Structure formats: structure tokens, C-alpha cells
């Protein structure tokens, strides 16, 4: 997809002033220097820093931001006349955040809403695609429903600072229709950022959520002093479990084998800037509790590690789906303090070894047999018709 023609978008609102919100604002502002890109933040110091010095004082502060980026703490001001919304709010805070601002989302005209949230909602076990559709489309009060908002989901191996400094990067943009996916890609695609369109919304959301859980364990392995052999084993088997879960939810294995799946998994498990990996490393190497590690990160504004909330939700989801996922279950047990990282590793390494079963959706065999029966029956029917036609032809 090529970038949207410059000047076509008048106003883009970015929800969230963390590292990724700042990076998203940078991408869309570069693509359209004439656009009014507004970051909605809750912090007055961030508003002042961006508007006066063109820098975010709390995240990615080493970068000078584009002149067409500004910030506000006023949601009505941020959303007035906006035609594109980029949502960069942690998933566990998304419903409350949107409940506070939904009345200011315009109701006239189509609004493209691109979500970068990753995770699984801890209570409802919803992916971002399910949560956002419920919150925006199925409000009890009809006046609060925003059916004019068209949802898309951006996910892939993208660290914020490397997007800002134009390191060659890529991600997947999923939407319910290919037309919307391509349109949403156009706001971000550039010579330094490849944006691949997709209609596999569930696959993109599953990959973005589950890779964070595996990254916590990858940090744990490094914290225990293990090398790349151990991490490669974890990443490969973690990808297998992630794909198994995704297929059970209706995702495509192709998506989970691409940038939004294994690509994002590799970055988060191997990259030095991974927040989830940092949590796992601290828990394993510093012998601190998860609560102590998270408290320390919050004090330093180190950013949210979504995998901490996603791990228990993923474990529950696996139980509901009846999917065998020992790696995800192990991470859940570590974060609850029931076992240590070393004990989790021992459990996983001593599991019975079985050949990998084919990755198929539930009911695959029944659907395949039914398809074969239908195909065979149709072949017989057509053959009989042709034979009957030939006989009638000879009779004439």
C-alpha cells in the first residue's frame, strides 16, 4: 500500500503519549506534514513539552518531534473533527479510557480507528478486536454507539524508538475488509516502514497478545544465565503453542507464521528493549517478586509489560479452548508465585516428548470428510448427466 495522498487527512488523534503513542504520531505526521496530529495525554508536563520544545519529556525524549505534532489533555479538543484515531493505550486500561472519551468521538462521517493495543482482557478474555467492537458498537445507550468508526489492528515486530529513527521495519494491518486494511496501511506506510494488509483480525490480535507471555520466559532464561540454545528452544515451542491457540480461535496459521506472529515473537524475546523480557529477567536474576519488579518499573516510568496481565488470561483461555500449552501455563504459575523460573524450566524440560500433531481447527476431520462426500456426490451426479446427454444425443 502506498501512503495516503498528502493533505487528504486534516486531523489525526493519537490516544496515549507513551513510547508507542509517540512513535505512531511520528509515523503519521511524517506521512502527511499538512495533517494536524494531536496526542491525547493525561500528563500536563507531556503536553507542555511537546507543544513548547517538540519533545516528549517522559518517553523517547531524545527525539525532536515533527512540527505538525501537538498534545492536549482535553479529549474534546483532541477529537473534534478527527477523521483518524490511533489507539495506543494498554489493553487493560482501554475500556475505561474509551468510556471517558467516547462521547467526543465524532458521529458524522467515517473514522478509521487503528488499534495498537496488545493482550487479552483479564476478566472477559477478550482480544483487542472483540473488546473494541463491544465498546464502540454495542453500548447500551444508542447515543454512545459509534458504528461510523471502522476498526483496524496494527501489530508486528516494532520497537518504538527504532520506528522514530527510521530503522527499516514492518508490521501487519488487519481489518474485516481488505479495502479498509489497505486504507489504514496508507496512513503509516513509508520507505522505512512496510505495512502489510490482512483480513485475519483474530490472528493479528492473537500474535500481538501471546508473544508477550513467551518474552517474559525468555527474560527468565537469560536471567538464569542460559544462552541462545535455550532461548531458541523456547521461541520455537512458544510459537507452536501460540499457533495452536490461534487456530483454535479461528486464526490463520499463515498470519501466525508471519510478521504479526513469529516476527513479533522473535523481536520481543530477543530484543534488548523488550519490556516483557525485562520483567522476566528481573524476576529470575534479582530474586524479586513480580510485585516488586512491577513497582520498580512503574516508579521509573519504564512502560507497561502487557504479558504480566496476559499470562493468567492466556492460561484460562487455554483451559476453555482445551488447548495443550504448557509454556503459557508455566508463565502463569511463575507470575502467581507458585513456582520459580527454575522449577518451571524443569517441568517443561521433563514433559513427555511427542511428535507434533498437525495444526488444524477443531472439527477439521469432520469438515474434510463432509467435503469429500459432497465432492464425490457431485462428481457422480455430473457424470450421470453427461452419460444421459450422450445417450439422448445418439437417440436423436
The three-point CA angle 189-190-196 to 5° equals: 35
Dihedral through CA 100, CA 104, CA 110, CA 115, nearest 10? -30
Average pLDDT over residues 46-66: 97
- The winner for highest mean pLDDT among 14-18, 268-272, 380-384 is 14-18
Residue 288 pLDDT level (bands cut at 50, 70, 90): confident
Is residue 92 predicted with pLDDT exceeding 70?
Answer: yes
Average pLDDT over residues 215-220: 96
* Predicted confidence (pLDDT) per residue in 133-148, tens digit: 999 999 999 999 999 9
Is residue 110 predicted with pLDDT exceeding 60?
Answer: yes
Average pLDDT over residues 326-341: 94
Is residue 386 predicted with pLDDT exceeding 70?
Answer: no
Residue 15 pLDDT level (bands cut at 50, 70, 90): very high
Task: Quote the pLDDT of residue 365.
Answer: 43
Please state which of the ranges 281-290, 340-349, 385-394 shows the lowest mean pLDDT: 385-394
Residue 356 pLDDT level (bands cut at 50, 70, 90): confident
Q: What is the spatial distance between Cα 165 and Cα 391, in angstroms, rounded to a whole number? A: 75
Instruction: List, in order, residues 6 or more apart from 386 with CB less than 8 Å away.
Output: none
Cite the DSSP H helix spans in 275-363: 275-285, 290-299, 307-321, 326-335, 341-349
Average pLDDT over residues 102-110: 95
Is residue 165 predicted with pLDDT exceeding 60?
Answer: yes
Averaged confidence pLDDT in the chain: 90
Q: What is the spatial distance between Cα 107 and Cα 101, in angstroms, rounded to a whole number? A: 13
Task: Quote the pLDDT of residue 220.
Answer: 95
* Predicted confidence (pLDDT) per residue in 59-90, tens digit: 999 999 999 999 999 999 999 999 999 999 99
Task: Quote the pLDDT of residue 346.
Answer: 95
Q: What is the spatial distance between Cα 212 and Cα 118, in angstroms, rounded to a whole number? A: 9
Residue 26 pLDDT level (bands cut at 50, 70, 90): very high
Q: What is the DSSP string of 140-197?
A: SSGGG--TTEEEEEEESS--HHHHHTT--EEEEEEESSHHHHHHHHHTT-BTTEEEEE
Is residue 36 predicted with pLDDT exceeding 80?
Answer: yes
Decide which of 295 and 158 is more confident: 158
Is residue 373 predicted with pLDDT exceeding 70?
Answer: no
User: With pLDDT > 70 as the criterion, what percentage of the chain qualifies?
Assistant: 87
Task: Quote the pLDDT of residue 290.
Answer: 79
* Predicted confidence (pLDDT) per residue in 307-316, tens digit: 999 999 999 9
Question: Which positions are catalytic?
Answer: 211
Q: For the CA atoms of the chain, what is the radius of gyration? A: 24
Is residue 367 predicted with pLDDT exceeding 50?
Answer: no
Beta strands 84-87; 111-115: pairing state: parallel
* Predicted confidence (pLDDT) per residue in 291-302, tens digit: 888 787 766 656
Cβ atoms < 10 Å from Cβ of 74: 12
Is residue 257 predicted with pLDDT exceeding 80?
Answer: yes
Q: What is the spatial distance between Cα 15 and Cα 39, in angstroms, rounded to a whole number? A: 6
- The model carries a pTM of 0.86
Q: What is the DSSP string of 90-108?
A: -HHHHHHHHHHHGGGS--S
Residue 368 pLDDT level (bands cut at 50, 70, 90): very low
198 three-state secondary structure: strand
Is residue 171 predicted with pLDDT exceeding 90?
Answer: yes
Q: What is the spatial distance between Cα 318 and Cα 158, in angstroms, rounded to a whole number? A: 27
H or E element, residue 44: helix 44-48
Is residue 37 predicted with pLDDT exceeding 50?
Answer: yes
Q: Which residue from 345, 185, 206, 311 is spatially nearest to 262, judged by alpha carbons? A: 206
Which residue is it, cell 495516503?
4
250 in Cβ contact with 321 (< 8 Å): no
Q: What is the spatial distance between Cα 350 and Cα 208, in angstroms, rounded to a whole number? A: 29
Task: Quote the pLDDT of residue 291.
Answer: 81
Residue 396 pLDDT level (bands cut at 50, 70, 90): very low
Average pLDDT over residues 7-34: 91
Decide which of 230 and 370 is more confident: 230
Q: What is the spatial distance between Cα 378 and Cα 390, in angstroms, rounded to a whole number? A: 18
Q: Which residue from 374, 346, 313 is spatially nearest to 125, judged by alpha carbons? A: 313
User: With pLDDT > 90 as the criterion, what percentage of the chain qualifies?
Assistant: 78
Amino acid at each position: 500500500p502506498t501512503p495516503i495522498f498528502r493533505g487528504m487527512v486534516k486531523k489525526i488523534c493519537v490516544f496515549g503519549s507513551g513510547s508507542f503513542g509517540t512513535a505512531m504520531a511520528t509515523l503519521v505526521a511524517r506521512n502527511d506534514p499538512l495533517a494536524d496530529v494531536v496526542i491525547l495525554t493525561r500528563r500536563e508536563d507531556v503536553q507542555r513539552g511537546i507543544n513548547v520544545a517538540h519533545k516528549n519529556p517522559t518517553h523517547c525524549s531524545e527525539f525532536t518531534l515533527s512540527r505538525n505534532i501537538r498534545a492536549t489533555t482535553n479529549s474534546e479538543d483532541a477529537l473534534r473533527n478527527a477523521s483518524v484515531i490511533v489507539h495506543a493505550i494498554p489493553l487493560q486500561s482501554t475500556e475505561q479510557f474509551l468510556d471517558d472519551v467516547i462521547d467526543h468521538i465524532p458521529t458524522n462521517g467515517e473514522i478509521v480507528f487503528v488499534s495498537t493495543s496488545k493482550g487479552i482482557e483479564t476478566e472477559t478474555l477478550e482480544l483487542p478486536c472483540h473488546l473494541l467492537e463491544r465498546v464502540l458498537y454495542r453500548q447500551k445507550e444508542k447515543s454512545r454507539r459509534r458504528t461510523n468508526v471502522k476498526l483496524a489492528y496494527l501489530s508486528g515486530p516494532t520497537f518504538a524508538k527504532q520506528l522514530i529513527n527510521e530503522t527499516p521495519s514492518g508490521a501487519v494491518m488487519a481489518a474485516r475488509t481488505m479495502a479498509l486494511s489497505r486504507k489504514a496501511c496508507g496512513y503509516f506506510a513509508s520507505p522505512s516502514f512496510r505495512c502489510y494488509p490482512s483480513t485475519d483480525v483474530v490472528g493479528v490480535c492473537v500474535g500481538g497478545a501471546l508473544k508477550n507471555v513467551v518474552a517474559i520466559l525468555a527474560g527468565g532464561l537469560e536471567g538464569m544465565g542460559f544462552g541462545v540454545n535455550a532461548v531458541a528452544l523456547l521461541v520455537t515451542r512458544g510459537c507452536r503453542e501460540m499457533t495452536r491457540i490461534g487456530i483454535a480461535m479461528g486464526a490463520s496459521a499463515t498470519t501466525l507464521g508471519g510478521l504479526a506472529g513469529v516476527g513479533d515473537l522473535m523481536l520481543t524475546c530477543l530484543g534488548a528493549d523488550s519490556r516483557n523480557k525485562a520483567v522476566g529477567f528481573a524476576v529470575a536474576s534479582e530474586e524479586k517478586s513480580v510485585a516488586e519488579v512491577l513497582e520498580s518499573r512503574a516508579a521509573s516510568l519504564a512502560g507497561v509489560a502487557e504479558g504480566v496481565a496476559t499470562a493468567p488470561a492466556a492460561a484460562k483461555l487455554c483451559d476453555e479452548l482445551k488447548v495443550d500449552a504448557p509454556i503459557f501455563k508455566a508463565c502463569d504459575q511463575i507470575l502467581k508465585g507458585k513456582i520459580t523460573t527454575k522449577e518451571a524450566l524443569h517441568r517443561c524440560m521433563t514433559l513427555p516428548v511427542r511428535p507434533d500433531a498437525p495444526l488444524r481447527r477443531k472439527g477439521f476431520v469432520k469438515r474434510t470428510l463432509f467435503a469429500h462426500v459432497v465432492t464425490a456426490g457431485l462428481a457422480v451426479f455430473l457424470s450421470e448427466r453427461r452419460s444421459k446427454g450422450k445417450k439422448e444425443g445418439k437417440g436423436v
